[in-house]
Amino acid sequence: MKNIFITSALLIGAFFCEAQTVTDGLLYGQQDNLYGTARYRALSGAFGALGGDLSAVGKNPAGSVIFNNNYASFTLANSNRNNDSNYFGTLSGSDSSDFDINQAGGVLVFTTNAESPLTKFSLGFNYDATRSYDDNVYLTGTSNTSISQYFLNNARGFTLDNFETRDGESVADLYQFLGEDIGFDAQQGLLGFQGFIIDPVAPGDASNTQYVSSTGTGSFNQGYEVISSGTQGKFSFNIAGEFYERLSVGLNLNSHFIDYTRFTGFRELNSNADATTTDVQFNNRLETTGNGFSFQVGAIGKITEALRIGATYESPTWYDIEETLIQEVFTTQQTGNQETFKDVVPNVLNIYAPYDLKSPGSVTGSIAYIFGNKGLLSVDYSSRDYASLKFSPENNSTFASNNDQIANQLERAGTLRIGGEYRIDKFTLRAGYRMVESPYEDKSLMDDLNGYSAGLGYSWGSTTLDLSYDYSKREYSQQLFSTGLTNRSLINNENNNIVLTLGFNL
């Protein structure tokens, strides 16, 4: 983009509220995805008491010492997402797909003196893509609430003098000044006023603080699209030991990253008799980067040669997040038979002060039964308290409000994973099921997730090839804007993933 000015929001008052919401806190901090190797995904992640898989090490760090030898694997994944929306009775659909590296890593296994209580220990490193942001949501329908309400709510209380340019000052200059010195809501009021979406009650009065809609009253044909891309991932540094060939314990030190881009495009048309503005296009492009840290401790115990139990504690993840935003508005104004097109494109990159996000930790209990060389059955249950999700600095009013909403709206959620496999010579058949509870007390905002998986493995001895397919479905409610136009659309989300892992026994 040409001629981009840089805005650095160094003042707390310049934090913007449109992106830093409870929904985005969950987007970055919710751990309900199935990720990793094909074997891990084929069993729906029910690996807490099993180990012997690099992505399973990310669930229970004691699992790396279960390997009999040095091992490395590399995983590719193809993902397809389908979103069906219902907005005021109008049904729409969209889909997206991506192909990426889902996992890569290795583990070194060392045996010790037979007389030592420590019979084996291991060192490992693994990368897992824990979330793919490549997605597309589209909805359309007819509403009785206009986008002008969003701009009116943000403009309320600001004098007209804040929205009118002075001699030698461009809209971009004023937009940048408002962002640096007053705040995000004043910038939105400027976009609405300069875009002919709202009008002052007293034109020409610089002290005017009241505004009215230019889109009239009646019905509004609206379209809303969210196109997102990027990845959230985790690098795990692992150490584990096996004692008396019965008890394995391990530690993971995890480095997390967020790389997320979201384009939101909103379009509104109307033919209201009292409207002067009949067409509004409002675009927002948000870019988020973040880094975080967490740790895990875990244990796997062999009760008998066949029965194993596992337990894992995962700490909260402490993120440091930075965000930038670009906005633009395009409108059409009707005056008699005359059409006037207005473009409000400040070309200003808003750079916001970094903030911290603490996502909730979890505890996991696991049990598995090994049927000799024939197969296994495994069950995991995890619990995570989403009410402990927290934004900071907490003395910021937006973050304080978010944290209050989190305490009132979110709750502890459980995840059940069941998986099994059956070996036939060099082939292995696998299947799994998972149920992830919604973090919301109000399930109409987000329902529980249900998923199924299946897979096939083949071993050449030193080399293994695993293929899996997994499917999940969840319904949730998509809110358009944080204020004014707060309409919601029901979204039915379905995910289909095909994963291939190549493994090497070294």
| Nearest by Cα to 150 from 438, 384, 484, 432 | 484
Place of tokens 């399930």: 443
Residue 274 phi/psi, 5-degree rounding, is -95, 15
Does the structure show a pLDDT above 90 at 498? Answer: yes
Q: Which residues contact 316 (CB under 8 A, 6 or more apart)?
A: 294, 358, 359, 360, 361, 388
How far apart are alpha carbons 193 and 205 in whole angstroms? 14
3-class state of residue 70 by DSSP: coil
Report the pLDDT averaged over residues 213-217: 95
| Nearest by Cα to 135 from 5, 231, 31 | 231
The predicted pLDDT at position 395 comes to 82
Does the structure show a pLDDT above 70 at 18? Answer: no
The predicted pLDDT at position 10 comes to 35
pLDDT > 70 in the chain, percent: 96
Report the pLDDT averaged over residues 98-126: 91
Fold designation for 18-144+216-263+286-325+359-505: Porin (2.40.160)
Q: Tell me the CA distances in angstroms from 199 to 29, 148, 189, 239, one per residue in order.
A: 40, 10, 10, 64
How far apart are alpha carbons 391 and 318 in whole angstroms? 10
| 376 φψ region: left (φ > 0), alpha (ψ -120 to 50), beta (else) | beta
Model confidence at 78, in pLDDT bands (50, 70, 90)? very high
Report the pLDDT averaged over residues 181-187: 91
The predicted pLDDT at position 399 comes to 84
Does the structure show a pLDDT above 50 at 3? Answer: no
Residue type, 134: D
